[in-house]
Each structure stands twice: as structure tokens, then as C-alpha cells.
Amino acid sequence: MPKTKPTKIITVANRLPVTISDTIRKSPGGLVSALDGVKEEFQLHWIGWPGIVTDNPKRQKEIRHQLSKYDFSPVFLSENEVDDYYQGYSNSALWPAFHYFPHYVRVEDNWWKSYQEVNRKFAERIIKEAQPEDLIWVHDYHLMLVPGYVKKVRPELKIGFFLHTPFPSYEIFRCLPHRKEILEGVIRADLIGFHTYGYLRHFRSSLIRLLNIEAEMDGFGLDNKRTSMGVFPIGINAKSFVEGIKTPECKKHLKQLKQTYKGRKIVLSVERLDYTKGVIRRLRAIEKFLQRRPKHDDVVFIFISVPSRDVVKEYTQLREDISSMIGRINGAFSDIHHTPIHFIHRSVEFSELCALYSAASVAFVTPLIDGMNLVAKEYLACHKDGKGSLILSEFAGAAHELYDAIIVNPYDIESMVSGLERAVDTESHDQHRSSIMRQHILEYDSQNWARAFIRSLVHTPDYRSPSSQTNESLKRMVQSVRKAKSAAVFLDYDGTLREFERYPRHAKPTQDILKLLKKLASKFDVYILSGRKSEDLQEWMGQLPITLISEHGYQIRFAGHEKWKRMQKSLNLSWKQQILEILERYVATTPGSFIEDKNCAIVWHYKRSDPEFGAWKSQLLLGMLSEMTGNLPVEVHQGHFTIQISAVQVSKGAAIQQCLSKKNYDMILCAGDDQTDENMFRVDHPALQSIKVGDGETAAAFQVKDPSALRSLLNKLAAPAK
């Protein structure tokens, strides 16, 4: 049998792993090594910026041809796009916001426009190259709009998105002017991955608060599909470090380091020059450590600071501040034989880095916040004897895995000083614990991370286009209602005919809705069956030739009449005061919630409350009500940010049955969106056709996406016969 062609993974990242000069050579990197572990299972392809600016078509063609040999597809950017999209919006707006530095956030209109345009360029490349069975894996904050742009054109493509930075709390994220657009781009992915549970939790919180998406911890429903969310802590290419410390080059560097720093313990810091790394605070801790240490020439601090974004003024100032502070500390604590801090502002070769990790007795890794921080893991990988001590910030993503490290608070100088003293002065510090951490990072390496994410992406639900059978069934249903000699249309209002609003009074019918109801009423008997009070329905739709039913069936005003009548002659409402007292206590303890007291029902609204707090309080209230209302003549329903307690005799199902008892219809169409509409869908009548608006399980025969989709269908129903 012929061998099946492996599924292609299209990795989409800001930069292709190449260096282009006179020649083109592949560059090593974390993603490259991570995907090396799955290349036997999948065909690999990359899309990204090649790192060179050229608008020469001939040169672009040459580069495209040469990159195709590596299965790379370039996205060419202009110099302005690199400045505005990358240096501008990505690194001067998103980066500081995601790392809890809102005072560094700068946003300019042209940056945002460029960010959108570059994301579209990446999306267009994906759309052009991807086959339906390919897996698309989009990486990081530079490309957060890409999933949305791609899905709009190619909804069948399966897309994963992984964020390599932290995702900030809602309070920080909402500072960004384009916060909704960013979320709306990401949520179109089929799988969204984060390093830690905390980042996922913050993302979910922003979805709930900014987009009103009822997200759970593992995902959420959107447009009749489910998007999954998960935690995938990235690892390192552990094998390269294990092999790296064995090379002759590394051993040579290691020998030189031991000779140079003989008799001293090396405390090592390695990072990009970035304000998120907490270097200034670390230097303050070192200064205090040296002040408290009578003999301090037995310790040397080596800072490897890799140049980063030197064109951004905050980074230039940071480098100057660090250099000044190191100079002051060295001036205070140096002598002719010893300088305590060595600052190296350059990249180092891999063999030299492995040697530094191996030679260091302590790794001092104290970022103010970091998505993961792979330096901590790289350091442990280079200490097979388990003797290395790791001081790690509790705000690094790695702290959630490497909990056997010396965990410190980088905002607490004394915490860092104590951690230094413990690491430096304890010869056999936690060797067993360091060995355990090393074993963990060797097992859960970058290839393990890539496999875990890809397997989760593979198992996300496949895209299902609206089935032709459902569409055809809806068409046939509409035609049967149109052809009926007598037909009735029962419509819920909020969430069905009209979208929800934050304030219920704002949900007045638009002119288009009023025109639609008037057209429907010219052909059918139209009933608006709502939970609203009769006063609202009368004010909004009283002028129309339709029947209005308020409070889910408490009162009715027939078409052509002015007076409202009760549908149920005798109701037991003795329970209302008891329930009202309970709800008042919940209003007092749930800011933003309020009570709507109706004739035969009481509704507790919590849409204006904090979404998570309101949802939690609603579950507490439901539990309490289920216990205490067992012997009361009431029904309890949870709606869209509401809990309604109503008289058991009153329901939409009973209201429909009462209306049907007064007139025979050849066809009956009803539509609703929440739990209170389900007994309407269950009315036993051979001519009943039912439509659920929105997601979720239902007894309705059909489902449509939202009120807009229902209005579109009703317009077809009301259209003149051809």
C-alpha cells in the first residue's frame, strides 16, 4: 500500500528561523528544536518575515526561491511596517501591557493600522497556501489578529494559537484601546494555549468582561463551534544542552572560567536587556548582600545581557541606569584583586553559554514577570551533578513547575538577599531537589510541549459547515408556513427578536424590527410572548396589529384591542414577599445587581455585576432557591444574567396552549432563546415548528445563530410571494 502523506503543520511566527546576508542559513531556535521532535509524524512548513527589508521584486523572488528549499514562505514587510507593527504596536503597546507595565504603553494610530495590515498579510499567505487538512499554528502577540482574518475566509482550517508571554489581568488588559479587536482575533482559533493556568484564567476573565462570552476554564462556545483553551508550559531543547556541555569547545571555556574565578562562587544572570527582567532590583539585592557580607571576595556576579530593542528609548535608558549602578557598586566593593560584578552586554556562543551555566554555583533568575523563562531550565540542564542552586522569581512562569527552586519575590529586596545567602552559603544546597527539577525539564522538553499542543489541536472538533439538510429543512419549513391558510407566529423578545443590552430599558425595538413585525402581521397572526411587563410591551409595540403577552403568560392584549386581560384568573402569589426578602439580601451583597418585581414573578438581574462574581452568586442563589421552593407554587428559571422566580401556573407553554384553544391554525411557528422558552417548544401540537436562537441543548426542531439570523429568516417568511 502507498504510504499516506503526513499532515502538514504550518507554523506561523513573526520571524522565520533564517539569517539572510549574501547567503541564507537556518538559525537555531526554540521553535525549530521543538518541532524537530514531530517532523517524522508531520510535514513542516513555516510562514514568517525573513528578517530583511527589500522592495526589489527580483530580490524577493530569489529569496522566496531559496527559502522554498527549507519549506519556508516569506512575508515581506516594508521598513515602515517593521517600525510601526513590530517596534511600534507589538513592542511599545502589547509587550508592556502584557508584562504589567501600563505606564510604558504607547499607542499611535498608524501603529495599530500597520499591526492590522501586517496581520492581514500573514493571513493572506496562510489562506493562499493552506490545504483543508493542514494544521495552522500561530505564535505570539505579534499575530493575534491572524486567526480571525483566516477563519473569515477559510473557516474549515484548524488553527492553534499559542501566547509565549504572560496574559495580564483584566484590569491591565482593558487599558489597551484595541482590546476587543485583539480578543476577537484570537478567539477564532480552535485551540488557544498558555504557559500557566494564571494566564489562561486572566484571558478567560477578559473574554467574560469585554466580550460577554460565557467561557469555562477549558473553552467556550462561539458561533455553533467550541474553542478549546489549555495550559502548555514550554520546555527547552534539553538534549542540545546535555550534549553541549560535553563538547570540546564547552570544556575549554569551562576550564578558563574555573581558572579565572578560582576560589570564588559564580552567581550567574542571563537575559535579554529588558525592563521586565528586574535587573535594577536584583542589583539592589546584590548591593545589600555585599554590605552584609564581611568577606565578599569569594563571590562573583556575572551578568550576560543580550542587546534587545536598542531603538526603543526605554531600553536605552535602562542600559544606562544598569551601567551606572554596576559602576557604583563595583566602586564601593572592588579591590585590586576582585571586582564583584562583571557585566557583559553581548550575545554569547552556545558553547560559552553552556560553560557559564556549568561553572555557576547559582543562577539568579528574578524577572518582575516572565511568560516562562527558559534560562532557569537551561541552567538546570547543564548541572547533571545536581549541585547548582536556582534562585527563581515567583512571577516567572517557570516557578509553577520548578517549585523546588529558591522562590523569591523580586519586589522584596530582603527576600532576594535571603535567597542569595541561602544559595551561596549552603554547600550542599538542595542537591536532591535540583536533581528532581532537572529530571523534570529533561522529560518535559520543547518537543514534548510541541507534541502536547499539536495532539490537542488535532483532537479539537472539526469544522462543520451549516448542513445542507438543515438549511433545506429550514427552507421547507418557511415555505410550509408561507403556504398555510392560517398560521401563527409566537416570538420571544429579548435575546430572540432583539439583542440583549446591558441596560434592559435600552433594548427598545429598532425601526427595522417594527417594520418586520408589521409585515409579518399582514400575513400571519403574530404573538410577542415576553417576560417583559405589559407597560413596556404596550409602549414599544402597542401600535402594531399584533397580540402582546407579558410576563411569560400573565397578561394578554389581543391584536386590535386596547385592554390587557389576565390569562390566569386565580394565582397564588403569597410566596412573593418571602422570595423578595432573599433577593434583597443578594442585591445588597452583589454590586450592580437589581430586582425587577413583576405581577406574577420576581427577577434578579446581575448583568451589570462583575461577571465572575455575579455568576458565582447566581449559583449560590439557585442552590438556596431549589431547597426552599420545593413546597411553594413557583418555578425557578435561570436566563441570560437573570434568575426568575414565577408562579407555577404561568408559563409560555401554557400561554400558547390557551391561545391555540381559541383558534385553529394550520401552521404554528415559535422562537425563543432561553430556558423559559423550552416549555413553549414542548407544546404538543402536530403543526408546531420551533426555533432556538443561540447555542445550547434544546427541544426546538431548529437552531439559528443569533437574533440577526432569526430576523433574516422572518423577513423571508414575510416576503411577498413570487
List, in order of start, the domains of the chain with CATH numbers.
8-231 (3.40.50.2000), 238-444 (3.40.50.2000), 468-568+650-718 (3.40.50.1000), 576-647 (3.30.70.1020)
Q: CB 570: neighbour CB atoms within 10 A?
A: 6
Closest to 49 measured CA to CA, from 21, 71, 25, 82: 82
Residue 334 backbone dihedrals phi, psi, to 5 degrees = -85, 155
C-alpha cell at 10: 504550518
Residue 218: pLDDT above 70?
Answer: yes
- Range 629-652 average pLDDT: 86
pLDDT at res. 464: 65
Half-sphere exposure of 648 (CA within 13 A, CB side): 10
C-alpha cell at 89: 504596536
pLDDT tens-digit readout, 132-157: 999 999 999 999 999 999 999 999 99
Q: Say what the pTM is.
A: 0.80
**Residue recorded with cell 523563562:** 373
Helix residue spans in 523-575 (DSSP H): 534-541
C-alpha cell at 42: 508531520
- Range 480-489 average pLDDT: 91
Between CA 689 and CA 702 the distance in angstroms is 8
pLDDT tens-digit readout, 284-293: 999 999 999 8
Between CA 661 and CA 657 the distance in angstroms is 6
Catalytic residue among 134, 370, 492, 677: 492
C-alpha cell at 509: 425595538
- Residue type at 231? V
- Under a CB-based contact definition with an 8 Å cutoff, are residues 378 and 30 in contact? no
pLDDT level of residue 699 (50, 70, 90 thresholds): confident
pLDDT at res. 2: 47
Between CA 374 and CA 551 the distance in angstroms is 59
Between CA 619 and CA 597 the distance in angstroms is 20
Q: Using CA of residue 541, residue 543, residue 546, residue 547, what is the dihedral sign?
A: positive
Residue 27: pLDDT above 80?
Answer: no
- Range 2-25 average pLDDT: 83
- Under a CB-based contact definition with an 8 Å cutoff, are residues 93 and 105 in contact? yes
- Under a CB-based contact definition with an 8 Å cutoff, are residues 233 and 400 in contact? yes
pLDDT tens-digit readout, 85-98: 999 999 999 999 99
According to DSSP, the β-strands at 225-231 and 158-162 are unpaired
pLDDT at res. 469: 46
Cα three-residue angle 581-585-586, rounded to 5 degrees: 115
pLDDT tens-digit readout, 373-407: 999 999 999 998 778 899 999 999 999 999 899 99
What are 306's strand-pairing partners?
A: 272
According to DSSP, the β-strands at 565-566 and 525-529 are unpaired
Percent of residues, the chain, with pLDDT higher than 90: 66
pLDDT at res. 384: 83
Between CA 42 and CA 640 the distance in angstroms is 44
Q: Is 71 a catalytic residue?
A: no
pLDDT tens-digit readout, 490-521: 999 999 999 988 778 888 999 999 999 999 99
Helix residue spans in 334-430 (DSSP H): 350-359, 375-381, 413-425
List, in order, residues 6 or more apart from 410 with CB less than 8 Å away. 278, 281, 282, 366, 367, 368, 393, 394, 395, 416
The secondary structure of 88-118, three-state, reads HHHHHHHHHHHCCCHHHCCCCHHHHHHHHHH
3-class SS at 579? helix
Mean per-residue pLDDT over the chain, rounded: 90
- Under a CB-based contact definition with an 8 Å cutoff, are residues 250 and 180 in contact? no
Between CA 544 and CA 533 the distance in angstroms is 17
